[in-house]
Structure formats: C-alpha cells, structure tokens
Chains A and B, each alone.
Chain A
Amino acid sequence: MTTKLVLRSVLLIGVYLAVSMAPLFAMLIGPTPPGRGFWREFSVALGFAGLAIMGLQFFLTGRFRSLTAPYGIDVVYHFHRAVSLIAFSFILLHAGIIPLAGPETLHLLHPATSPWWMVAGIAGLLAFAVVIATSLYRKQLGLVYERWRGIHGTVAVVAVALAMTHIGGVGYYAQGYVKRGLWIALIIGWVLALAYVRLIKPMIMLRRPYRIEEVAKERGRSWTLTLRPEGHRGMNFMPGQFAWLTLGASPYSIREHPFSFSSSAMEPDRLRMTIKELGDFTSRIGEVRPGTRAYLDGPHGTFTIDRHGAAGYVFIAGGVGITPVMSILRTMADRHDARPVLLLYGSIRWEEITFREELDELPARLNLRVVHVLEEPPEGWKGESGRITAELLARHLPADRMAREYFICGPEPMQKAIRNAMDRLGLPMEHVQSESFNFV
C-alpha cells in the first residue's frame, strides 16, 4: 500500500470515530441538562453512540470507492457486519439499563401510558433486531439473497428513522443549536448517502449500459458473459478487480451480484465475467440470452497486481477462484510482462478445469508455469493430486519465493488452509493477498 493510501486509511478511521462519537461530545456543549445518575446517563450515551454507528452504515455499504480503496471493499463489508453487532449491543444495553437504573421509567413501557416517542423507540429496537437476525440467519430462515437485501435495506432505514424519532421525542439532550445542528447534519448525511446509493448511482449506471454479447460455456459448470458498452468506452479496471452485475432493464433493481472480471484489463470495451453455477442466481446464468441489457457497479477490490508490485508472483486458485487470476494472467500477457509467474490451480477433476486449454497456451506468451492439482485425478495421472498442502507448496515454490507476492483465491476453507501452510513454510505473510466475500 502506498503512503498516500495509508494516510488516507488512517484519516478515514479518524473521521469514522469522530462522527460516531460526535453526539456524545455535542451533548456536553452549550446548555446541558443536569445528570440523572451514572447508569441512566451511561445508557443514554450508549443509545446515542449505537444510533450514530448505525447511521454510518449507510456510508460503509454505499460502495464509495474513495472510502473503500485503502482497505478493499471486502474488509469494509466485514467491518460493517462486525460493527453492526457492536452497535446493536449498545442499543440493547441502552434499552435494558434504563428501567434497571430507574424503575420509575417502567410506566413508559405500559401500553396504556406509553408516549409516542417510546413506541417509536421500541419499534426501532425491534426493527434493528430484524435487520440483525435476518443477516445472521439468512440461510436458516430460508431467505434468498435478493429478498434478504430488500428486507435489509428497507428495515434498516425504518429502524434509524424510528430511533431518531425516539431521540427527538425524548428531547432531553436535543436542546440548543449545537445539539440540534449536529443531529440535523447527521440526518442530512445519512439521507444524502442513501440518495446517492439508491438514486444517483443507478442514474449514472443507467447512462452507462452494457449489452450481453455472448454467453459461452466453460469447463467446470461455468459460463463467461461478454459485455459490450453501449454509448460509452466501457470500464477501466485493474486486473483482479470485480464489479456488481445487474441484468435486466433497470439498474434500480436490487438483483445485483458481485463477479470478478476474467478478461484482460487492456480491453475495457470488451468485458468478460466468468460465473460458476453455485447459488440462486448463478444456477440460471447459462439461460441469459445475448442482447440482454446489463449494468455494472465497479470496479472494486484490491486483489490486483497493480497495487502489489513485486519481482514475481505466485497465484494459488481453487475452482472458480481462477477468474480474477485469469484476468491478471491475460493482462500480463497483453502487457508483455516478463516477470515470472507460478500458478497452482486446484480442481476436482481434469475435465472440470476452467480455462484449461488457454492455460496450456499462455506460457507461450508469458513467463508462466502452471501446476494443476486434482482432487480426483484420472487413471495414469502423473501430476499433483489431493489438496494444496505445505509439502506440495515446498515442492513447487521457486528459489526466489521470499521476494514474490502471493495471491490466493478460492473457497474460504481453502484460503485458510493455504495460509496455514504458507505460515508453516515461513513465507512472508505480509505479501499474501486474498479477498473474502462470505458476508451473509
């Protein structure tokens, strides 16, 4: 990472913390009402902090490239997930401590005497609980991804709005220009972030449509979609990056999915994405007809050689994890990049090796050595078989292994196993790149 990106990442973390805590500092500025006992004030502060963190989620999930670039969007999404649980804990504690610290407040929970702002607070708490529960247990609840996204986006907005109503109704720390001004500024910020994500960004995407030119079957139950830009020059991306793909008439649809580019970054006007039949959406990807309108939100991601310069590279791919690696290899070939590359590619069977033929040809254009590792090798197979282990790595890694940059792409368990193996071999872990997209 460059010094500029490091500075920007530190600055963004500082801004995040400052905004999260701003309501707490603002509460002490200007006319401040008297304290009502430590525990009650503590619970109020927890509620304010919890809501401020929840409001900031609109920025974290807005895919603002300037915000995600220093870390990688996968890190930002995992942070979003973890910090949501922390904020929800704060809000739960807020709701739990107040009646314990001041039993006289219990009458506010009685349906007959509960004021409107208390009803809003309870409804907001339940809405946050729905957001968290549906995210943690999406698969157990049988929610398909698109329906979950719809619920998640809508209920989260409702929850934040109800919580703000609750704060305004209580009004204890909402007096004075500073306090009111801060909450209004926060609300404006949240609404602008939402407006950008839900309205402005789709509007921009609407003006930059793509058309599916070809849907080609690949080995290993995978399909490559070729996208051609319509009325614009396409998308400049770094090899290894990805974009959210929306198929259909409107970019306002929530039916969008992240896929890596498999094409060369030197061809921004002929984008290819290779997708394996795995989930709800991808199981029907082969049915997409050429001529279908498509929209892209991207490029995103830090899994790219353009951000991690080195004397040579080692790529370790499993299954459809070959897709971003293929983009990198094709780009290196197009750039006449002479740096040495080793590819260790794990597949189930010989017939299912995606891009097998092209990988046989690429060494003619690139300083590339490919090692296939098959879990179920055919009879007479003389190559590597089983899983990619420390011993297998030790057999194939080049002499300059400490100077190389490593890229791992594949299922989560495979990534973990390979990291452990690399650690055992004493390889430089700070030179290992990977991305993780197992969010919900």
Chain B
Amino acid sequence: MREQYSILLAVAAGVLILIVTVVFALIQSPELLNFPESPLVKSAVVIPHQVDGRRDCVRCHGARGVQPYPARHTGWSNTSCRKCHAAANNAVQMQAEAASAEKKRSGQPMPHPLPGREHCDRCHGPEGILPYPDDHAGWHNETCSRCHPQGDVGQKQG
C-alpha cells in the first residue's frame, strides 16, 4: 500500500515534469502551435496604405465609407481586418498594391447572374468551359466577386 502511494507520487511528479518539458519545447519551437493559414489569408488584398494611426478601418471601409468593403464583411469589426489583410511593407509595395487593387476593381463584370452559381471554378477552373487566366491559379470561389462585379445581366440575356 505504501509502495503504491510512492509509485503514484512518482508518476504524478513525472507527468508534471513531462508537461513542463513539452511547454518548454513549444516556447522554444512553437511551430506545432501554428495552424495552417486559410487560403483566403493569402489571397486577401494587401492594404495599399500606411496603417499607423488608422486603426478605425470601418471609418473609410464600412458600408458607408469612401471605399466600402464587400457586403459579406458586414458586421466584422476593426480587429478582424488585419487577420487576412496584410499591410504593405514599403512605399514601392504600396504603389504596386494600389495599382493592383485598382486593376482588380476594374475586372471584367460577370455576364450572368450569380445566385445559384457560387462555385465559379466549375466553369472557370482550369478544366472548365471558360477557364480563368493562368495568373488566377490557386484563387478560390470566394475571391472572384471582389474584382468581378455582377454586370448588367438583363441586357445580356435579352
């Protein structure tokens, strides 16, 4: 009985020390805690301006701002923005991103209605009937409407 108490105490101490060794290893090399980033993070538009002193993103990018965010961002707070949108590192990158954003905003409008056709890659993927350009490789359905607004569908159909 006393021997069992001793063994239990030793096992408890061993487990505790083992936990601390794991914590130590995680502090030193935390890669096991880094969950894989969502594909959306990589594809999100880089912020093409300085972010210092501009913490209230919604002021400019809210539904009534000068550069509104997409409708599906409605209800998201300022703290969410930088989880997907990285800030440009320098002036050159800012200019490039600004130009890219402008170009993206001028993407070709969709010539068909969107509801019921959210899986763009079925038709526009590499093996679809009307594939997207090579520089769109790796992008996802969620990103298409960022640059390709829904066009005047009624006119086309007519």
Binding site for B on A (CB under 8 A): 13, 16-17, 20-21, 24, 27-28, 32, 34-42, 44-46, 48-49, 53, 72, 74-79, 81-83, 86, 90, 415-416, 419, 432, 434-436, 438
Contact of A38 among B5, B6, B7, B29 (CB under 8 A): B29
Contacts of A32 in B (CB 8 A): 28
With A38-B32, A72-B2 known as contacts, the answer to whether A24 contacts B24 (CB < 8 A) is yes
- Determine if A37 and B29 form an interchain contact, defined as CB atoms under 8 angstroms apart: yes
Q: A41-B28, A72-B2, A435-B2 are in contact. Are A78 and B7 (CB under 8 A)?
A: yes
> In the assembled complex, how far is the CB of residue A439 from the closest CB belonging to chain B, in whole angstroms?
9
Question: Which of these, B6, B28, B32, contacts A79 with CB under 8 Å?
Answer: B6
Indicate if B71 sits at the interface (CB-CB under 8 A): no
Task: Please state if B2 and A45 are interface contacts (CB–CB under 8 Å).
Answer: no
On whether the beta carbons of A79 and B9 are closer than 8 Å, the reply is yes
Smallest CB separation, A327 vs chain B (Å): 20
The CA-CA distance from A285 to B103 in the complex, in Å, is 101
Since A35-B25, A45-B21, A90-B21 are in contact, a sample of 18 more A-B pairs with Cβ atoms closer than 8 Å, ordered by chain A residue number, is: A28-B27, A28-B28, A32-B28, A35-B28, A36-B28, A38-B31, A41-B25, A45-B25, A46-B18, A49-B17, A49-B20, A49-B21, A75-B2, A75-B5, A77-B6, A86-B14, A435-B2, A436-B1
Binding site for A on B (CB under 8 A): 1-3, 5-7, 9-11, 13-14, 16-18, 20-22, 24-32
How many A-B residue pairs have C-beta atoms within 8 angstroms? Tell me: 102
- Interfacial chain B residues near A76, Cβ < 8 Å: 6
- Which chain A residues border B31 with CB–CB below 8 Å? 37-38
Interface of B is mostly: helix
Inter-chain CA distance A20–B7, complex, in Å, is 17
Task: Give Cα A49 to B2, complex, Å.
Answer: 26
Decide if B3 touches A20 in the complex (CB within 8 Å): no
Contact A42-B2, Cβ < 8 Å, known A17-B17, A35-B28, A86-B14: no
Residues of chain A lying within 8 A (CB to CB) of residue B3: 74, 78, 436, 438
Which of the residues A37, A45, A46, A83 comes within 8 Å of B10, measured between beta carbons? A83
Question: Which applies to chain A's interface (DSSP): helix, strand, loop or mixed?
Answer: helix
Chain B nearest Cβ from A146, distance in angstroms: 24
Chain B residues lying within 8 Å of A435, measured Cβ to Cβ, are: 2
CA distance A24 to B10 in the complex (A): 19
> Could you say which residues of chain B place their CB within 8 Å of the CB of A419?
1
Taking a contact as CB atoms under 8 Å apart, the answer to whether B10 and A42 are in contact is: no
Q: How far is the CA of A40 from the CA of B21 in the complex (A)?
A: 11
Inter-subunit contact B6/A82 (CB<8 Å): yes
In whole Å, how far is B116's beta carbon from the nearest beta carbon of chain A? 46
In the complex the two chains form, is A17's CB within 8 Å of B13's CB?
yes
In the complex, what distance in Å separates the CA atom of A72 from the CA atom of B2?
9
Cα A258 to Cα B13 with chains together (Å): 28
Q: Is there an interface contact between B17 and A75, defined as CB atoms closer than 8 Å?
A: no
The answer to whether A83 and B28 touch across the interface, beta carbons within 8 angstroms, is: no
Residues of chain A within 8 A (CB-CB) of B7 are: 78-79, 82
- The 8 closest A-B CB pairs, nearest first, are A78-B6, A35-B29, A82-B10, A35-B28, A45-B21, A42-B25, A86-B14, A41-B25
Asked if residues B27 and A38 are in contact (CB atoms below 8 Å), the reply is: no
Q: Which of A35, A39, A81, A434 contacts B2 (CB 8 A)?
A: A434
Q: In the docked arrangement, what's the CA distance between A96 and B138, Å?
A: 40
Contact yes or no, B2 A83, CB < 8 A: no
| Contact yes or no, A82 B21, CB < 8 A | no
Minimum CB–CB distance from B11 to chain A (whole Å) comes to 7
The interface residues of chain B lying within 8 Å CB-to-CB of A41 are: 24-25, 28-29
Q: In the bound complex, what is the Cα–Cα distance between A365 and B122 (angstroms)?
A: 102
Taking the nearest CB of chain B, how far is it from the CB of A15, in angstroms? 12
